[in-house]
A and B are shown apart, each in its own frame.
Chain A
Amino acid sequence: MGDEVRSNLKYTDSHEWIKVDDKIAKVGITDHAQSELTDIVFVELPEIGKEIKKGEELCVVESVKSVSEIYAPVSGKIANINKKLEDAPETINESPYDEGWLVEIEVKNESELKSLLDADAYKKMI
């Protein structure tokens, strides 16, 4: 457990994953990131409708001992948040790529997607 990288996703060097489907980008943290953090116990999600720029703080994920900022992999408007995480933050540990997604962003500028890492590049990095 701890280092699954999915070939259908894009990645950032700060360990977020992103999956774009018809201008909506689903964002979460990677299996590697959740395994490094262990025991995620608190998630602070943004408000729906908030405008966010690529590289800005998107949300905060806390383990017992640490506070980690999650950065927006693309610019856009927050379209949806995974409310389930407010009561069950451990979902990120259990299912980082599926049930444990964080937010959906309405992508503003599709050209930003080009700078993201593909699965092979991310695998090399971790």
Chain B
Amino acid sequence: MLIQSPLNPLQKKLGAKFIEFAGFEMPIQYSSIKDEHLTVRRKVGLFDVSHMSNVWITGNDAEKLISLTTVEDASRIKDCMSQYTAILKEDGTVIDDTIFMHLGNKYMIIPNAGMAETVTKWLNKKAEEHNICATAENVSKDYVILAIQGPKSRDTLQKLTEINLKTVGFFGCQYIELAGVNCIISHTGYTGELGYELQITPTNLAEELFQKILDAGKEYGIKPIGLGARDTLRLEKGFILAGNEFKGGRTPLEAIMSWTINWDHNFIGKEALLKQKEKGDYERLTSLICIDKGIPRPNCEIKKDGKKVGTITSGTLSPCLNVGIAMGYVHPDFREKDSILEIQIRDKLVKANVVKPPIVPKDWAIQN
């Protein structure tokens, strides 16, 4: 049985087409992926991302549990701040990437779609094994998650609250009243644009808030956005999608997430990562822009002079650049910036350039 978001009836009314994603029936698009994508880059868009999970971590040692089970030292993350991190197995491979929010004496983490039970069980098991006084509780069903993204996102939400949103810094998080609804706001997102994410409970308050945000953003050209554009927006910025980029077991070193690793604390998977780092011969996630026509898709082979050197994990047409773009794991000897690789798309070899992410720069909308 597919799980539907509490906003499903409203989304149907708004003309959404739906897809199955990790056990959820979610909107893939309303108008068109291209149109929605450009709306977020230039104006503002509203996403329902309730397929993502919510897990509370409580108890005296909540901070300790997060530090042990993620690559971040949670003592570094002050109250009302959030952090992007990864939960690893002992062998260093990623179980899930997630944001955690420090909210007073507890933490909320946002695992990926369908990962809530796996992550909750893992955290509780590790708490028990290490005698840590903390508990993880899966509360995903109690929350609707909305994302408001785009250059006009702040102006839109500001109309609905007394709190000056400029005081909520990048990756800041706090409780807030929005259009009379109490929720958690964080200055975070998955599009590379100015944006916010909201955790709303109880879920029956979400439909009215969704509508009020659309009304508030009307003067800025707001549109509801589906998961199709969410995927193309993140790919243009080089952001990882867990189901694609961690498939088959990948470490944060392979996924070019070293910047998230805080080496000065002990965490599960650290030893394996140190060994891998020393060896150095691992494939690394690499961003590519096609030179020839063609759209790379997951599992396409990446080649150099006809020899396989890697595999595509995500690919699409970039709605901003109007060319094929992709991410994939490439052998370390062949991924230097500006080198030219070939992507096998059906029976054609499509030339592509290795680039440093973001594939689409921050000021794209201003320049175009």
Contact = CB atoms under 8 A, between A and B. Distances in A.
B34 A39 contact: yes
Contacts of A124: none
Interface stretch (B167-175, B258-266, B289-297): B289-297
Nearest to A90: B34
A41 B295 contact: yes
A86 B348 CA distance: 15
A48 interface: no
A39 B60 CA distance: 52
Nearest to A37: B32
B131 to A, nearest CB: 47
B66 interface: no
Contacts, number: 37
Contact of B33 (A60, A63, A86): A63
Interface residues of B, number: 19
B352 interface: no
Contact of B29 (A38, A44, A86): A38
20 contacts: A38-B32, A39-B33, A39-B34, A41-B34, A42-B294, A42-B317, A42-B324, A44-B346, A60-B346, A62-B317, A64-B37, A64-B232, A64-B317, A64-B319, A65-B28, A65-B33, A65-B228, A65-B231, A65-B232, A86-B293
A45 to B, nearest CB: 12
Interface in B304-321: 316-317, 319
A95 B29 CA distance: 22
Interface string A80-103: 000000100000000000000000
A39 B317 CA distance: 11
